[in-house]
């Protein structure tokens, strides 16, 4: 995935340095006059390292608690690009059900948000994993395994051993955005960096790439939420 970062330029600086702040923001300190393109390349080349840094919560104990939804009547939760209400109510199955709203039995709701996010994770697996297979065939690539998992701060990733990881929170996004993230990560198996060749591969497979990128950018805060 693309990394977000801010750039601080200063005339006296001679080297480009990249740091991850305590609140996980990436800041690039750059000399005056270094082109944006060069900075993007530098950040891209450090992708793995930056993700590692952002992934270790113990180093950022001062980071604010993630804002989140409450598991209460009337709360709205995004699902496949639309907002649906939670209704705390008994269900036929005794489990959480979806019928134009999320029906959550009181016993489950009392346990907090975890049971609901676990349920969404399973929904995400059911939507995402078959499509990973589909797009892998389309692109003619092999991946070792694909997994939908808990994790914050990124939508998807490609591990060094060709394993693919997708954030369960992707289930909040429209299907076309989910497809984009899948295609993006699979395309990294062909081209590891965000080169023009990489984007050609992605766009050929997913023409609505720009819209999907914009959606992810606009909704980045969803990644920070527990629910
Ligand atoms: Zn990427």
120 in the same domain as 49: no
Res. 154 pLDDT band, cuts 50 70 90: confident
Residue 84 to residue 69: CA distance in whole angstroms: 12
55 in the same domain as 116: no
pTM of the model: 0.70
Q: Which long-range contacts (CB under 8 A, 24 or more apart) does 61-65 make?
A: 62/22, 63/22, 63/23, 63/24, 64/23
> Which residues constitute the domain of residue 29?
6-60
* Total domains in the fold of the chain: 2
Backbone φ and ψ for 204, nearest 5 degrees, come out as -65, -35
- Least trusted range by pLDDT, from 22-31, 51-60, 135-144: 51-60
Give the pLDDT of residue 59.
46
Residue 75 to residue 103: CA distance in whole angstroms: 12
Nearest residue to 71 (alpha-carbon basis) of 89, 93, 84, 88: 88
**What are the tens digits of pLDDT across the range 80-101?**
999 999 999 999 999 999 999 9
CATH number at residue 123: 3.30.2010.10
Q: Separation of 73 CA from ligand 1 center, angstroms?
A: 38
Q: Separation of 76 CA from ligand 1 center, angstroms?
A: 30
Residue 120 to residue 128: CA distance in whole angstroms: 12
Packing angle of the helix pair 114-139, 196-205 (nearest 10 deg):
100
Q: Separation of 3 CA from ligand 1 center, angstroms?
A: 8
Q: Separation of 47 CA from ligand 1 center, angstroms?
A: 9
Give the residue-averaged pLDDT of 99-121: 93
Q: Separation of 12 CA from ligand 1 center, angstroms?
A: 32
Give the residue-averaged pLDDT of 162-169: 93
52 in the same domain as 131: no
Q: Separation of 7 CA from ligand 1 center, angstroms?
A: 20
Helix, strand, coil percentages (3-state) for the chain, rounded to 5, are: 40, 20, 40
Which residues contact residue 161 at a Cβ distance below 8 angstroms, ignoring those fewer than 6 apart?
144
128 in the same domain as 214: yes
Which residues contact residue 194 at a Cβ distance below 8 angstroms, ignoring those fewer than 6 apart?
2, 40, 44
Question: Pairing relation of β-strands 26-31 and 17-20?
Answer: antiparallel
Residue 109 to residue 75: CA distance in whole angstroms: 12
51 in the same domain as 128: no
């Amino acid at each position: 995935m693309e990394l977000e970062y801010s750039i601080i330029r200063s005339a006296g600086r001679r080297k480009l340095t990249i740091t991850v702040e305590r609140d996980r923001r990436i800041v690039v300190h750059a000399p005056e006059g270094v082109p944006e393109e060069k900075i993007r390349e530098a950040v891209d080349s450090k992708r793995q390292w930056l993700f590692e840094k952002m992934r270790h919560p113990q180093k950022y104990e001062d980071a604010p608690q993630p804002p989140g939804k409450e598991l209460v009547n009337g709360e709205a939760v995004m699902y496949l690009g639309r907002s649906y209400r939670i209704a705390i109510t008994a269900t036929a199955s005794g489990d959480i059900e979806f019928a134009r709203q999320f029906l959550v039995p009181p016993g489950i709701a009392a346990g907090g948000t975890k049971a609901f996010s676990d349920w969404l994770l399973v929904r995400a697996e059911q939507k995402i994993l078959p499509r990973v297979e589909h797009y892998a065939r389309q692109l003619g690539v092999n991946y070792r395994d694909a997994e939908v998992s808990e994790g914050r701060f990124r939508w998807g990733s490609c591990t060094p051993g060709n394993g693919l990881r997708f954030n369960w929170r992707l289930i909040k996004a429209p299907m076309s955005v989910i497809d984009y993230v899948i295609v993006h990560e699979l395309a990294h198996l062909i081209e590891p960096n965000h080169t023009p060749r990489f984007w050609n591969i992605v766009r050929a497979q997913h023409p609505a790439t720009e819209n999907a990128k914009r959606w992810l950018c606009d909704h980045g805060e969803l990644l920070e939420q527990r629910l």
